[in-house]
Amino acid sequence: MENLRQALTEADEAYLIGMSNKGTYKRALKDLENAEVSVNYMDDYAEVHFGGEVCKIKAPLWESSCSCPSRSVCRHLISAILWLKNNSGESEPTEEEPPIEMSLPDTLKDAMKAITPEAVKKSMGSQLKKMLPIIDKIKLEKSSILSGTLPDGTAVRILYPLEGSTCSCHSKELCAHKSAVILAWQIQEKLVNAEDFQEKAQQLSAKEAEAIRECAMQNLQLLHEVFQWGLVRMPENIPDHLEAGAVRCHSLKMADAERQLRELGSMLESARGRRAVFRIPAFLRAFCEAFRHLSTLTSETITEESLGQFRSTYEEESDDVILLPVGERRISGDYEGTIYYFLDTPNKRFLTISDLRPTFYDTVNVRKYTRITAWNTATPIHTLMRSQLTLKNAKINGGKLSTSKETLLVAQKQANLDCPEIRSMIFTDFRKLAIWLDNQNPTTETERLCFVSPSACEKTFFDEHSQKLNMVLVDKEENRVSVQVRYRAETKEFIEQLERIGQMMDETPEKDYTWLCSAYFEEGKLLLFPIELYDFIHVPKSDPYQMLENFKWKDIAHAPVISELLRNAENWLCSVMQTGLQSANPDERTLKQAEQCGMQGLHDLVQKLTDEIISYRHTVNPDPTKAIQNMAYLQQYLTIGRQKIEVRSALVKMNQTQ
């Protein structure tokens, strides 16, 4: 009974509220006023008869039980505990009694000190990355218990013993929220250094790291095999081996490696099937990216961050988001459906919602699927594309807008695209567009989106060699850019529509036409991919664009030559990838041109790879590792070089007749 008396003595108002909640505690106080109570004291518990129920009160108090149907700590238990306290010499608590500021009990402190960083990391699990940034924002209150409130409103009460702690998520175990509150207290008490914990939390155990290193090395051997044989002589089972490697990566939570291997496997399937969608330069970039990433996973130090994440989270916007629907695009192929485009007018950023379904699992000729509904409405998205929308609790990730039911559509009115927000975003000078795109340094497709208003469509033609439709647009300063769309069975109707648009622009040159496009650089040119066309937006007149000092003609005239040199070097790398290391030929032309242009860095990288190719042919049991390393370095050099030179090359070429 001594343990029970001690537990009753330590159980103050805060502790009892922590066991249950404030409403239950107040109801228990009220029930106690006119209650008839009888008690029987046993060896290690007290049996309290109260309100027609029988409560067994024992230490620790959270292990007490009641005969009522409630599965949680009920008002009968709280009333019984209060009655025992009052009749054990404790003063009767009242509703109006203010909370007493006090330090945590030593028993609770010792219990929380015993929670190791490893235990905290394990209990947080997949929520570790989400929890770490908010630890310093948790509000702590100390009394006989430790109360913590997370930024999202989750309430946690830490009691002694810890098994009796409660959380808004209703978990009985040590959940991520409880661990976060304990960690916040440990940091506040200077028992744990926040930076050291974050660094250690990202590190893997020795066993996990060794398994990841072994998996990375196995997959590197697959890449070696691809590079040795080349795309022409590659064994047919390589895509299957890459898929098996991706499965191993998934089991070890190697998210980026899994994605890269699946991408390579899919590309090789396209190459083997001779599909038009396959592009060797894209495969080369993906191959080198996978090689560099897997190489980092063979190092001594491997962190969870270096593994990547399977699914990035949507961040909730604190302010209301006001959306103008600006277009939609139908997608066909491996995925079928519609992408909807919106403009977040206050922030002048584009957002998208994708309503797509995979078709590679289909076994029927006619596909049927239900359109997704938006937010807290039961309305399909396409029915909202004529309305300006105001969203509360909108969730965004990388330019993608979530259709979560937690997001609320709080206002809706007729949309007007001929508005100041859109007019201010229209590019009428292609030079300004090119420099904007370079400064934008886009990492997502939505960051490439822009409004463009050309003065005319100079010509529209179909290139039989590249299988692309080209529309040459001209701005007011006689600069030219091309709208390009590659022909496929799925784009036939789209191309025919663009041809009609080109004819319409030629027949009515006096009208203002505004395009919603995706802008990108390719082969030293600025190119556009069309999404939507408007003929009702009044394009504002603007002053002539003044070129920035570092983009003057004398500084950029050489750019197309360098851009072509970089493309030649990449074409050589593509030929090496295609024929394989065993059959690759040196690139004397690029070596000579790089030397003539004074590009010593490019010359040295090409020379190193050339030496490795020659050495590989004349070595018994050759190792392709160094050759792949040099190829990856050269490919990275070319990528960075193009990023720096393409805007300058585009500025020069848009002044030339196309």
C-alpha to C-alpha distance for 514 and 537, rounded to whole angstroms:
7
CA atoms within 13 A on the CB side of 24: 20
C-alpha to C-alpha distance for 234 and 381, rounded to whole angstroms:
45
SS3 per-residue string spanning 53-70:
EEEEEECCHHHCEECCCC
Q: 104-122 in b/e burial notation, b at 16+ Cβ within 10 A?
A: bbeebbebbeebeeeebbe
C-alpha to C-alpha distance for 464 and 471, rounded to whole angstroms:
14
Question: Quick one: which H or E segment has residue 562?
Answer: helix 559-579
Residue numbers of the chain with a pLDDT score lower than 50: 90-101, 658
| Spatial contact of 73 and 65, defined as CB atoms under 8 Å apart | no
| Spatial contact of 167 and 175, defined as CB atoms under 8 Å apart | yes
Q: Is the dihedral of CA 167, 173, 174, 175 positive or negative?
A: negative
Q: What does the angle CA 457 – CA 461 – CA 462 come to, to the nearest 5 degrees?
A: 145
Q: What are the Cα distances from residue 253, in Å, to 46, 125, 309, 632? A: 51, 12, 8, 25
Q: 598-608 in b/e burial notation, b at 16+ Cβ within 10 A?
A: ebeebbebbbb
What pLDDT, on the 0 to 100 scale, is given for residue 99?
45
Residue with tokens 């089972």: 237
What pLDDT, on the 0 to 100 scale, is given for residue 223?
94
What pLDDT, on the 0 to 100 scale, is given for residue 525?
92
pTM confidence score = 0.70
C-alpha to C-alpha distance for 36 and 569, rounded to whole angstroms:
93
| Spatial contact of 185 and 146, defined as CB atoms under 8 Å apart | yes
Which tokens in the block code for residue 638?
Answer: 């070319």
C-alpha to C-alpha distance for 595 and 601, rounded to whole angstroms:
10
Q: 252-262 in b/e burial notation, b at 16+ Cβ within 10 A?
A: bbbbbbbbbbb
Longest dimension (CA), the chain: 103
C-alpha to C-alpha distance for 177 and 166, rounded to whole angstroms:
10
* DSSP code of residue 133: G
* DSSP code of residue 28: H
What pLDDT, on the 0 to 100 scale, is given for residue 101?
47
C-alpha to C-alpha distance for 84 and 82, rounded to whole angstroms:
5
Going across the sheet that includes 449-452, the strands are 426-427, 449-452, 514-522, 525-534, 480-486, 468-474, 456-463
What pLDDT, on the 0 to 100 scale, is given for residue 348?
92
* DSSP code of residue 91: P
Q: Which of 528, 511, 542 is nearest to 452 (CA)?
A: 528
Give bridge partners of residue 391 from the DSSP assignment: 321, 409
Phi, psi dihedral angles at 525 (to 5 degrees): -125, 155
C-alpha to C-alpha distance for 508 and 581, rounded to whole angstroms:
56
